[in-house]
Amino acid sequence: MKETKPLEGKVALVTGASRGIGFVISRTLGRLGMKVSICARDANKLEGAAKELRSDGATILAVPADVTRVSDIESLVRKTVQELGPIEILVNNAGIGYFGPTHQAEESAWDRVLDTNLKSVFLASKAVAAGMIERHSGHIINIASLAGKNAFAGGGIYCASKWGLLGLTECMAEDLRPYGIRVSAVCPGTVATEFSPHAGKDPSKMLQPEDIAHVVDMILMQSPKSFISEVLLRPIEKP
């Protein structure tokens, strides 16, 4: 008997998918039967990720893109629709960190973090929204952070980007609800990836990328009439 895949054939776009959380989310979506378009800036790493995902049986389109540039986003969305079909799920995962005293940071650090963590979500969401509105369906999932709710020393720029992302997510959700589109935020604590500093912490007690992918799966499989707007995710044990 053929395995039932409720999301078979649907198209997802995942940003920042060449490694870490984005890669594992893409693998999970592929296993749910979705066709997945992945992007990252590094073309070589992206193609390596695509090859691994395809070996798992998934239909994967890899498109190198800098998600802070509107021309790259427009090209990414256009190629995805042409090659795979209308985008029904967008996972805004691309993100970078900066950790250090805000008063000592260069303006370039602010620009890099805010452009990647916040502006890219605006650009990608705007690029897919018209098609979702036309079809009266769709889901946008933004990978945020508990840093969008909690202040800590050295986190000023990163926290600003994630606090802004949560505000953007909530407002987009209200804008798009009348069109049958759900916009959700996933807010994990520290995840065991190369992304952020883990000095003195036990990686085995941290959240794993698979934990975030599980939440994305849960959001997509919720009842059609419900709306999970935000998920806060913490490890059982403190690292």
**pLDDT at 192 > cutoff 60:** yes
Domain enclosing residue 157, as ranges: 11-233
Which domain CATH number covers 184? 3.40.50.720
Whether 199 maps to a domain, the answer reads yes
The reported pLDDT for the residue numbered 122 is 98
Instruction: Tell me, yes or no, whether 177 lies in a domain.
Output: yes
Active-site residue, 158 included = yes
> Is 167 a domain residue?
yes
Positive or negative, the CA dihedral 34, 225, 168, 124 is positive
Residue 138 covered by a domain: yes
Exposed / middle / buried, residue 197 (Cβ in 10 Å: 0-12, 13-18, 19+): exposed
Q: Active site residue: 138, 158, 162, 191, which one? A: 158
For residue 151, being part of any structural domain is answered with yes
The number of folded domains in the chain is: 1
Q: Is residue 238 part of a domain?
A: no
Contact 5, 116 (CB under 8 A): no
Instruction: Determine the Cα–Cα distance for residues 62 and 18; give it in Å rounded to an integer.
Output: 9
pLDDT, tens only, 64-80: 999 999 999 999 999 99
Alpha carbon distance 235, 239 (integer Å): 8
SS3 of residue 232 by DSSP? strand
Q: What is the DSSP letter of 204?
A: G
Q: At what angle do helices 70-83 and 120-135 cross, to 10 degrees?
A: 40
For 83-116, the pLDDT digits (tens) are: 999 999 999 999 999 999 999 999 999 999 999 9
2 falls within a domain? no
